[in-house]
Structure 1
Amino acid sequence: MEFTFRESCTLYGLLAETTSDIILKTDLSGVIVHASPAIERLGVRIASSPRLLDLVSESARAAVASELEAALAGQEAGRWVEFPAVSTDERDTWFELQARTLRDEQGAVYGALAVMRSIDEKRVLKDQLFAATYTDPLTRLTNRAAFISMLEHMVDAEMDGCLAMFSIDFFRTINMKYGQHTGDDVLRVFADLLREMLRSDDLISRIGSERFAVLLPRTSPSQAQAICSRVVATLADLRQTVGESRMAITASGSVAQIAESLDSTIERAELALFSAKAKGRNRLEMEKPRRVAA
């Protein structure tokens, strides 16, 4: 569509007053000389001559400054930059911004035109999708995919620590005797016990039907053994209320040092867990000492 100059001004006024986007114009020094009414939600008054960067949280100021400088330098193709904007009530509201060069009739740059678009809803949806992807819906612990990713990071970063694995004893029998609903309650009870007994830095995941994994950063094998032994002993000492019944729930556990590779760490922990079950369950086994090549 083609518009006259007056029609373009009318269209701009209509869009600026009805859109939730913040449309603003800066001079060559980055001072905002004009902005659409939507900027009022940030508590900003143009009469005070604020700079665009004054609206940006300190953590993202460099990225927004780079985008604005590119526009003021005459770069035509801008990109969207995400950043938290600081409002007068000091709450961070997330926006994305794109800036374009403003030129006069002689082609000289005299400022920049920018659009700030709220992305709070998009970030909430992104966080919800992330949680759905990496969270076990039954226990609200992280799932196997998240566990693998976290363990891989620890191995690659050569972080000291241990991997513990737990398996609820006779879980299939519980499901068959009391039903799957009771089995789900057992899983939630054990997940809550892990949250209560482990430290805030420990990363707890449900990695299978009745199996749980715990990453214990900056923890020696002896420290991990003491921590995990208490979990196994405490569970065995308590008769848990599950559904309408009170029953004894036990778990087998294992500990392996995070070393060599992701596969090696998991394999050593699983072998130790198999050993705990083979020796009668309701116990904790440490990984077997690794052989050192001559």
Structure 2
Amino acid sequence: MGMNFTLQESSTLYGLLAESTSDVILKTDREGAIVHASPAFERFGFRPPEARLPARLLDLVEPSHRQEVAKAHSEALEGNETGAWVEFRAITSDERQHWFEIRTRGLRDEEGNVYGALSVMRSIDERRHLKDQLFAATYTDPLTRLTNRAAFISMLDHMIEKEMSGCLALFSIDFFRTINMKYGQSTGDEVLVVFADLLREMLRSEDIISRIGSERFAVLLPRTTPEQAQAICHRVVTTLAELRHKVGESRFAITASASIAHIADSLDSTIERAELALFCAKAKGRNRLEMEKARPASTH
């Protein structure tokens, strides 16, 4: 059996729900100005609309997400009743970043004219945190905390798609299998961490470092010429060889072979050229850097 409420009863019911829920209930006019906010509004660190700050729904939303929230509000006023939730980063009175989702419906008077909207806003901080953790687990190498092969492929593909200039460098720790067999896997793991830390220390902030295999690392060097990349990566190879690292109970030299290829043509082509140059570095005695072979000029 359905329940019918008078206007007064509906208003009272709304008040009870607004007082008891952790969701924020907002009433806005057609222009998006906040006319009323439930008590949870202030509990989440928003200023009450009576203070005139913020006075509009979009004032709660970080600029990068305002277009999506504005579109949802506009569609609600036009009678679109899909009720889809829209996620956004919020501007609150504290320094922390907070995520919310919002769903909006239009409000109509007795003649059917839309005079405003009612929105339900709820915190999704916990869900976003779990999503970020999952993203990190999917794209991060747990040992070195560098991005992994999946992330590297995605980023290189993006650079090629956007026709961004730059170079790809590959590094391979020399005789890594021998190190593992002679000193044990835990020592091998320490070698990987030592090399990852050296790359972080010696490369520039804009360079993107990934661990893409057992003993292999890739570095994307955006907006870098082959000559600049050669200078940067040669310094890494020579510095590594000059240091005797204490790893586990032993102190020994760690060396690496490296290669550089210009990012161009396609993802497969770029990786293939870098791999071939790395093979040459190893064939020529390791502990060295090789550039990709110059491609012949195209003829017409």
The reply on whether 1:44 has 2:36 as its aligned counterpart is no
1:131 corresponding residue in structure 2: 136
RMSD of Structure 2 on Structure 1 (CA): 1.9
SS in 1 for 2:26: strand
Matches within 5 A, 1:225-240: 225-240=230-245
The reply on whether 1:248 has 2:248 as its aligned counterpart is no
* TM-score (normalised: structure 1): 0.93
**Over residues 54-102 of structure 1, what are the superposed CA-to-partner deviations in whole Å (9 max), with x where a residue is unaligned?**
3222332232222222222333223222222222346542211111011
The reply on whether 1:81 has 2:83 as its aligned counterpart is no
For residue 30 of structure 1, report the CA deviation from its aligned partner. Answer: 2.4
- Stretch deviating more after TM superposition (106-115 or 218-227): 106-115
2:226 corresponding residue in structure 1: 221
1:35 corresponding residue in structure 2: 37
**Over residues 178-210 of structure 1, what are the superposed CA-to-partner deviations in whole Å (9 max), with x where a residue is unaligned?**
110100000000000110111111111111000
2:154 corresponding residue in structure 1: 149
2:213 corresponding residue in structure 1: 208
2:3 corresponding residue in structure 1: 3
Q: Unaligned regions of 5+ residues in structure 1, if any?
A: none
Contact 2:37/2:48 (8 A) holds in 1: no
2:189 corresponding residue in structure 1: 184
Could you tell me which amino acid in structure 2 is paired with residue 278 of structure 1? A
Q: Unaligned regions of 5+ residues in structure 2, if any?
A: none
2:124 corresponding residue in structure 1: 119
SS in 1 for 2:93: coil
Matches within 5 A, 1:57-76: 57-76=62-81
**Over residues 128-164 of structure 1, what are the superposed CA-to-partner deviations in whole Å (9 max), with x where a residue is unaligned?**
1111111101110111111111111111222211111
SS in 2 for 1:127: helix
2:296 corresponding residue in structure 1: 291
Residues in 1 aligned to 2:96 and 2:211: alpha-carbon distance in whole angstroms: 35
Residues in 2 aligned to 1:71 and 1:235: alpha-carbon distance in whole angstroms: 61
Contact 2:168/2:262 (8 A) holds in 1: yes
For residue 117 of structure 1, report the CA deviation from its aligned partner. Answer: 1.3
1:175 corresponding residue in structure 2: 180
SS in 2 for 1:254: strand
User: For residues 176 and 92 of structure 1, do their structure 2 counterparts lie closer, same or farther at Cα, with a shift above 3 Å needed?
Assistant: closer
SS in 2 for 1:123: helix
| Percent identical | 73
1:198 corresponding residue in structure 2: 203
Could you tell me which amino acid in structure 2 is paired with residue 288 of structure 1? K
**Over residues 7-39 of structure 1, what are the superposed CA-to-partner deviations in whole Å (9 max), with x where a residue is unaligned?**
755654443223221012122332322222100
Residues in 2 aligned to 1:52 and 1:66: alpha-carbon distance in whole angstroms: 12
* TM-score (normalised: structure 2): 0.91
2:283 corresponding residue in structure 1: 278
For residue 113 of structure 1, report the CA deviation from its aligned partner. Answer: 0.9
How many residue pairs get aligned? The number is 294
SS in 2 for 1:78: coil
Residues in 1 aligned to 2:86 and 2:50: alpha-carbon distance in whole angstroms: 26
